């Protein structure tokens, strides 16, 4: 059994590679829910959605989120109400795009949560509806919300930062509201304890992996089994392939490099997989007490993702 600690796009591509080389039923994904947001009264879990759609082969390949062949009729029709919406109202907002096909997922999730189902149950049902073999688990069934302090603006939600501001504003701090109350689910805990190998996917260490690590006991659990925890650096040649991880690391006082990632993960993880472009950083990473594996980590094709998964599992063996 392999347990993968996941954010969104990078994790989804890694899982797609992994499920092509091992039985998908032997893979569990423990997924960040700090990005979750309520829009139009609908419960949206972006990282769970991205992983579900990617593993189903239904993700939009250009955007990296949402469904392929999407239409946007519902969104377009919301603009009718812009002129009549009272100033203080958030009804009918259109800055966060929900495609017509994607809406079905959020309608189903919201209705099941309202019936009293847990996010773990609903995520399993949605994964089953897409015939996924990989087991998808939200990190928690409680609300934990990633909040971002933007320079000159104050605190906003993660999606207001990521989508609303196109993550192009400087950040001075990040916090995980509710982390003192939210708990890692029992299923996620068992997966992280029982797996032969735990992989930390190439996701943003601060706002994708960070929320999972903020849950009580997670760092302790990983530290206790550190020798079989392997991470893949999402930073290549000093930059993130997608998203704001590089700028965020710098803005929050970390180094935007595979070495910076190694410093964050050294207490919980024995091995870091880095890209060939960063091969010269291997000695600096090893001096932190980690093994360093150098390979191609840019998952531009399913074959490269499969090779990366193979190297990652070999590194853990």
Nearest alpha carbon to residue 208 among 3, 46, 34: 34
Query: Could you tell me the two tokens for 294?
Result: 């150098």
Nearer to ligand FO1, 76 or 224 (CB): 76
Q: Using the rule CB under 6 A, which residue among 14, 161, 162, 265 binds ligand FO1?
A: 162
Cβ neighbors of 190 (< 8 A, separation 6 or more) are: none
**Calpha distance 80→83 (Å, rounded):** 7
Place of tokens 């989804």: 12
Q: Which residue in 21, 55, 8 sits closest to 197, CA to CA?
A: 21
Q: Would you tell me how many other CB atoms lie within 10 Å of the CB of residue 201?
A: 28
Rounded Cα distance, 127 and 83, in Å: 39
Strand partners, 229: 198
Q: Closest distance between ligand FO1 and the C-beta of residue 296, in Å? A: 23
CA 75 to each of CA 42, 58, 61: distance values in angstroms, whole numbers, following the listed order: 14, 20, 21
- Min dist CB 286 to ligand FO1, Å, is 30
> Closest by alpha carbon to 8, among 117, 155, 154, 163?
163
- Of the candidate spans 10-18, 159-167, 174-182, 278-286, the one that interacts with ligand FO1 by CB under 6 A turns out to be 159-167
Contact region for ligand FO1 (CB under 6 A) — 46-54, 146-154, 213-221, 264-272? 46-54
Q: Is residue 192 a contact partner of residue 223, using CB atoms and an 8 Å limit?
A: no
Residue from 8, 17, 138, 260 touching ligand FO1 (CB under 6 A): that is 8
Instruction: Give least dist CB 229 to ligand FO1, A.
Output: 22
Binding mask 165-194 for ligand FO1 (x = CB under 6 A): ------------------------------
Taking CB under 6 A as the rule, does residue 163 contact ligand FO1? yes
From the CB of 97, what's the least distance to ligand FO1, in Å? 3
Q: x/- binding map, residues 65-104, to ligand FO1, per CB under 6 A?
A: xx-----------------------------xxx---x--
- Minimum Å gap between C-beta 287 and ligand FO1 is 32
Nearer to ligand FO1, 159 or 311 (CB): 159
21 vs 104 by CB, closer to ligand FO1: 104
The CA distance from 46 to 310, in Å, is 27
The residues of the shown chain that bind ligand FO1, judged by CB under 6 A, are: 7-8, 35, 44, 46-47, 49, 65-66, 96-98, 102, 159, 162-163
């Amino acid at each position: 059994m392999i347990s993968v600690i996941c954010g969104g796009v990078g994790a989804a591509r890694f899982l797609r590679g992994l499920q092509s080389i091992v039985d998908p039923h032997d893979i569990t994904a423990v997924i960040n829910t700090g990005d979750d947001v309520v829009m139009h009264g609908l419960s949206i879990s972006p990282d769970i959605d991205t992983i579900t759609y990617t593993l189903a082969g239904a993700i939009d390949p250009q955007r990296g989120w949402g469904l392929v062949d999407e239409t946007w009729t519902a969104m377009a029709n919301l603009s009718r109400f812009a002129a009549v919406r009272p100033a203080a109202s958030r009804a009918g907002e259109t800055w966060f795009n929900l495609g017509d096909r994607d809406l079905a997922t959020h309608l189903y999730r919201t209705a099941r949560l309202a019936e009293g189902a847990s996010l773990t149950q609903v995520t399993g049902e949605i994964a089953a509806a897409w015939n996924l073999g990989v087991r998808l688990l939200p990190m928690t069934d409680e609300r934990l919300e990633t909040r971002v302090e933007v320079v000159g603006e104050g605190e906003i939600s993660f999606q207001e930062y990521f989508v609303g501001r196109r993550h192009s504003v400087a950040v001075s701090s990040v916090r995980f509201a509710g982390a003192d109350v939210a708990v890692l689910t029992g299923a996620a805990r068992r997966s992280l304890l029982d797996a032969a190998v735990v992989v930390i996917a190439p996701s943003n260490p601060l706002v994708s992996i960070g929320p999972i690590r903020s849950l009580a006991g997670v760092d302790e659990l990983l530290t206790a089994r550190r020798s079989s925890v392997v991470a893949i650096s999402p930073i290549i040649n000093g930059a993130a392939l997608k998203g704001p991880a590089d700028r965020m690391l710098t803005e929050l006082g970390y180094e935007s490099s595979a070495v910076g990632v190694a410093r964050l993960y050294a207490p919980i993880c024995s091995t870091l997989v880095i890209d060939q472009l960063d091969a010269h950083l291997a000695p600096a990473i090893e001096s932190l007490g980690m093994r360093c594996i150098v390979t191609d980590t840019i998952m531009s094709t399913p074959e490269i993702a499969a090779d990366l998964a193979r190297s990652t599992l070999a590194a853990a063996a």
